[in-house]
Structure 1
Amino acid sequence: MLMSAHEYVAWMARLGRFSESAAAPEHDPRVCASYLQLHARWLAAPLDGPIVAGQDGVGLYRDPLAPGAFGWALVGALSHPVVPLSAAEIVARAPAIAATLADECGEAIVMTDTFEAAEALAPGAPGGERFAWLASPRARFGDEFAGYLASLTADRRRAARELLARFDEGEGFRFALSPDPPSEAELTWIAEQLTRQWGEDAAYALAQHLWPVAVAGVRPGQALFMRVFVGDRLAYFNGYLVRGPVITSQSTSRDLEVHRDGLGVVIDLKAIARLVDAFPAIRCLDPTCRTGLDDPPSIGVAKRKVVNEDAYKPVLIVGAPAQEFAAGLPRFDARLGWVPGTTAIVGRRL
């Protein structure tokens, strides 16, 4: 069946998949409602693309800001979203997903970006071979920043120390990580910078910023924001989402007049240093090195300078995508059933 975004949120709440006590903020109907309001206001259009909903709580849509294959409903601009189904449930429901899409949309493809599932399976676990797995490493840290630096490879450790010295606060840089969401003026600045940088694609980048803003208004403990100043000038603004012990880099914008190679890496290093001291419940930073199969391999080069452990995120493919980057990956075919893949992990490992 087809639903609007607001209908979908209400329906998921009735099914018990969404609730105010859900662990993931994207499963809180209040957060979803806030995001939809922000989307309509800042992007001058409601998020009204039809959502294909199955009876068992599966929701898929074509994100109007990033058209293509069907993905998880509402969360197209969210980095590594959590879906309200276990990996085993997704595997079991693949035939129904294919049938629902055929009934509602004819020939259609599902090829999600990376996600987290409730009670997630690992690569190689029973059912785990049904997904395409994307290498998207993380930075794990303990109670001391020095210990985290020691865990990096020698090259990354040396680069980190050089960058921290170059962007020291004594050199005029100031880094502030806090739960304070962007003000109206800051959101306007973010929108202006993104428009300058991305042109007609700026709407998608701005939608990425709106998710942590929506979370901050409802669950202030699950969104953090990094402001970087050069002198008195705001140079960078990053949004992060917190899910349990993991903080995920969700969005970034920068003053295009401020050119500082390496500053993006320092932001994550400074975030880790601040998290070690002030947020003891958070012990892993996911810099979102890659979030989609079609991301170029080079996209995570800078962010990978802060990582020290491998992480693997699943991607669901239903149908037969023609894209070259999906060749050899496991998928579900309505006629053939589960088609095994010849590629185990996509992306460079540590």
Structure 2
Amino acid sequence: MESFESCNWTQFGYKFTQVFEPAVLYELALLEGVRFSALVRLEDRRTEALASLGAMFDQASELSVIELVNVSSALISISRFEPAQSLLRILSERRTTSREDFEIGWLEFLISNRCGRGVNSPAAFEKMGRAVTTREIPISRVLDSCTQAVVWYIKRRELPPAEYERWLKLGTSLSQSSDHIEPGSLSSWYRGIAMVPAANGDSVATRRSMELAREAADRCTGSEAGAAETNMIKTYYESAMKEYVYVQRDMDAAKEAGRSLIALDPAWSVSYGELAEVYLRSKQVEKAAQLYEKAVTVGPPYVAHHLLKAATCRDQCGDLSRAMAHFEKLAGLAPRSRQVMTAGLALAHRLSHPSSTVFKRGLQEIETHVAD
């Protein structure tokens, strides 16, 4: 919301914090009792911000290229990918500068990354790369693209190896000019580059990069810090939790990072789920269940995922009645999930619970849907 309200629509620089997959929007439709298509296509405009964004979308033909980039960014930030893609088609016809090409490539990458498992990411990075060679792109924006190239190559090989190496080399070079780079971009780079030694099990180099990420993030968070700046510290703690679990093997440090993450933003449900995962790996299943349930109480996103994890934990703890209650709620939240229906039915059979008919019907409907 803050990014939307503070945006200068006539200048590049819409501030992204998190971009969710379409499944999150589907879950929201179920929770709010609205048609999924109405959310996806921006037909549902019940809030003032959505009404304002929708009005700008409707007037796309009257907007400048920069305004179109920012409106597309706002749409992508709330997972309205379909209307964003329609604006990108307009942008592709009207673009005239290297900066515009770069920003279009950036948005095309975000959509490909969230909706198509990165199939079109190479083309998007090629477009950004051509723009970078003109030397007309701000250094911080170039470093942003380097970061994403590294992160998504490590995560799921979205770029060819040669392209990854090129962006890695460029980012490493740019990061040496840290005085000319926005602290948020620099912090993201160091968090991203930490994944390289982490993938090789190099705990010392990983921690060194993470410390640099923290130092840069700290420079973002003064007394005037807003949501985007605070997000830099949040993302540091999110990455640190994974580092401590998978690389450092220090579960106490991971828990401390998780608690710090929650303290920064108690209204963000994802943080409770991430800390719950640490406790689960520490074999503290009861504590994990409590945290997953807290995540459900706090709300979207990932309500169904958190509830399923809570149900599984309660089952492991022997608290079968509470596990059953979670599965019954899940039957409505995730009606197309074979995993939910199968696990719910298995537990219902063990308890001779009458809800077994609900899960049987759910599985039958899934089979019918697949057959159609």
Tell me whether the two structures share a fold, i.e. TM-score over 0.5.
no
**TM score, norm. by length of structure 1:** 0.28
Q: Which has the higher strand share?
A: 1
Of structures 1 and 2, the larger Rg is shown by 2
**TM score, norm. by length of structure 2:** 0.27
Structure with the larger RCO, 1 or 2 (CA within 8 Å, 6+ apart): 1
